[in-house]
Amino acid sequence: MTETGSEKLNKFEKLKAEKDGLLVKQEISEFARQGWEAMEENDLNHRLKWLGVFFRPVTPGKFMMRMRIPNGILTSTQMCVLAEVIRRYDREGSADITTRQNIQLRGIDFSDIPDIFNKFHKVGLTSIQSGMDNVRNITGDPLAGLDANELYDTRELVQQIQDLLTNGGEGNPEFTNLPRKFNIAVTGGKDNSIHAEINDLAFVPAFKEGFGFNVLVGGFFSGKRCEAAIPLNVWVKPEEVVSLSKAIVEIFRDHGLRLNRQKARLMWLIDEWGLEKFRDEVEKQWGKSLQTAAPKDEIDWEKRDHIGVYPQKQLGLNYVGLNIPVGRLSADDMFELARLAEVYGSGEIRFTVEQNAIIPNIHDSALNTLLTEPILKKFSVSPGLLMRSVISCTGAQFCNFALIETKKRAIAMTEALEEELILSKPVRIHWTGCPNSCGQPQVADIGLMGTKVRKNGQTLEGVDIYMGGKVGKDARLGTCIQKSVACEDLQPILKDILLKQFGAKVREQTAAQI
């Protein structure tokens, strides 16, 4: 059934129609003066997210701020500003690197928010339009401009798309009422380092008339349905990426389905129209003829995790990938990363979708000293083969959707398994606290999705186990292979999977054999 404007709107459509989310930007100083307790419910719970400010029902009064870090790249000055923000809140202040190469800040007092926005503004940071029905942080190749094998440096394109959609970070009312969230990724390397296949819109390198990108559309995860993106049969030149992104977001904004929020992501519109009509409408909106896709794309490599020390394309320079277990940072950690970037590199820090950090532009002569820095004990360049790949969403500590605690559990389980087993290769284990799949269990070697299980008459925290996710070349989504495992019973099950399917060996046995 096709939707019409006269049919009943869902509650989010109503609240957006009553007042656009971006309008709270004008009101934030007054809100902060009066206190969050005095705010109207929809402003507090929903519209603040248009500014990247999230009320956390789990920690009322302690807010989360979600930034936009295009291509996952920050300067050390920006990192210090973010660190200063959370330092005020002592132990309650923390930050997380997210699965979209981004940063979220926690423990924030509401009354400080106008001042924090001023601080962001001074150093070119923005948190605008990072939540609710907006385009999320735009991901790009974490090695852009560093990798000798890259085909295209994605940094400028990603920044241009963000600037267009957010009006240079100030907020753009043209794109603040989408039917639902929208994810965009641009990759210029051969290893699909940003999971193109799980974005609503992705550009992957491909040659036709010179270098350009094939376009994928409709990838998404939700509690109801998960789909890998499909080829739109379009190839564009780099200089066309921004305008095509705009046209596709406009199509989604103007025609995306809005009645049922569970069926509002782009793929549902593609289903309703069919891919051919969708492509035709994109062409009309773009106002130019679309070229058909290049016959093959250039995603030829297995995905790299960037942990370790690697030479850059610039002779004598290196990038160092640090493992930040489950992405969690304290203010001190952030100051320290900023210091390392300044002392040893060029004052730049990058994030990956694996919730890790990269410090680029380190001269050969500075490498050895950098590797003796104490923080590298915490954020290792050569972590265990499970720790280097573990990923976790926020989970019950701060997220009210969560069915289980994730981050602490992910670290404890990883440590316990590494103690028991010797691995011969990294195994990517992703934890996610509920079916929303922010921790992307479907792309993992082993994905763990939080659920509640009944055991001996009790309700316990548990997981559904996913396997078969493949990233990089020929990426595909994993599926659920076992449901409802209580977390207290999980370790031996994971051990068994690692032994039988990933070539792990029991530590004692190996020791005895030697």
Catalytic site positions: 66, 180-181, 433, 438-439
Query: Stretches 271-279, 317-325, 431-439, 476-484: which one binds ligand SRM (CB under 6 A)?
Result: 431-439
Residues pairing with 479 in the sheet: 467
* Residue with Cβ nearer ligand SF4 (345 or 433): 433
Q: What is the closest distance, in whole angstroms, from the C-beta atom of residue 21 to ligand SRM in the complex?
A: 14
Binding to ligand SF4, residues 424-453 (CB under 6 A):
432-434, 436-439
Is residue 127 within 8 Å of 28, Cβ to Cβ? no
Q: Is 149 exposed, middle or buried (0-12, 13-18, 19+ CB in 10 A)?
A: exposed
Encoded tokens for 74: 């920050």
Q: Least Å distance between CB 488 and ligand SRM?
A: 23
Q: Determine, following the binding rule CB under 6 A, whether residue 183 of this chain makes contact with ligand SRM.
A: yes
- Of the pair 181, 428, the CB lying nearest ligand SRM is at 181
Over the window 82 to 101, marking each residue x when it contacts ligand SRM by CB under 6 A and - when it does not, the resulting string is --------------x-xxx-
Q: Which stretch binds ligand SRM (CB under 6 A): 23-31, 282-290, 414-422, 433-441?
A: 433-441
Residue 176 touches ligand SRM, criterion: CB under 6 A: no
CA distances from 153 to 142, 212, 240, 387 (A): 10, 12, 15, 29
Q: Report in angstroms how near the CB of residue 290 gets to ligand SRM at its nearest.
A: 24
Q: How far apart are the first and last CA of the chain?
A: 67
Residue type at 3 in one-letter notation: E
Residue 278: its H or E element: helix 275-286
Locate tokens 């934890």: which residue?
431
Q: Write the binding mask 381 to 400 for ligand SF4: x where contact by CB under 6 A, - elsewhere.
A: ------------xxx---x-
Q: Does 44 bind ligand SF4 (CB under 6 A)?
A: no
Select from ligand SRM, ligand SF4, none the partner in contact with residue 181, using the beta carbon and a kind-dependent cut-off of 5 to 8 Å: ligand SRM
Residue (75 or 104) nearer to ligand SF4, CB: 104
Chain residue at closest Cβ approach to ligand SF4 = 433
Cα–Cα dist 36/30, whole Å: 10
Cα separation, 261 vs 290, whole angstroms: 30
Among 143, 486, 103, CA closest to 307 = 143
The 464-493 contact track toward ligand SF4, x by CB under 6 A, reads ------------------------------
Task: Select from ligand SF4, ligand SRM, none the partner in contact with residue 182, using the beta carbon and a kind-dependent cut-off of 5 to 8 Å.
Answer: none
Angle of the 275-286 helix axis to the 266-273 helix axis, nearest 10: 110
Per-residue x/- mask for ligand SRM, residues 239 to 268, rule CB under 6 A? --------------------------x---
437 binds ligand SRM (CB under 6 A): yes
Token representation of residue 280: 């035709």
Identify how many contiguous H helices and E strands the chain contains and give both numbers.
Answer: 15, 24
Minimum CB separation of residue 349 from ligand SRM in Å reads 16
**CB of 390 vs ligand SRM, minimal distance in Å:** 12
CB of 199 to ligand SRM, least distance (A): 7
Q: Min. distance of Cβ 277 from ligand SRM in angstroms?
A: 22
CB of 102 closer than 8 Å to CB of 69 = yes
- Residue 219 contacts residue 199 (beta carbons within 8 Å): yes
The sheet carrying 94-97 orders its strands as: 53-54, 62-66, 103-109, 94-97, 328-329
Strand 421-422 vs strand 429-432: parallel, antiparallel, or unpaired?
unpaired
Residue closer to ligand SRM (CB basis): 83 or 396: 396
Q: Does 201 bind ligand SF4 (CB under 6 A)?
A: no
The piece of 177-185, 233-241, 246-254, 482-490 that touches ligand SRM (CB under 6 A) is 177-185
How far, in Å, CA of 337 to CA of 370, rounded? 11
E strand or H helix at 334: helix 331-344
Least Å distance, CB 469 to ligand SRM, is 12
Q: Which residue sits closest to ligand SRM, CB atoms considered? A: 222
- Locate 457 and state its tokens: 């008459």
Alpha-carbon Rg for the chain in angstroms: 22
Q: Which of helix, strand or coil describes residue 117?
A: helix
The size of the interface with ligand SF4 (CB under 6 A), counted in residues, is 13
Enumerate binding residues for ligand SRM (CB under 6 A).
54, 56, 64, 66, 96, 98-100, 102, 104, 130-131, 136-137, 180-181, 183, 198, 220-223, 265, 393-394, 398-401, 436-438, 440
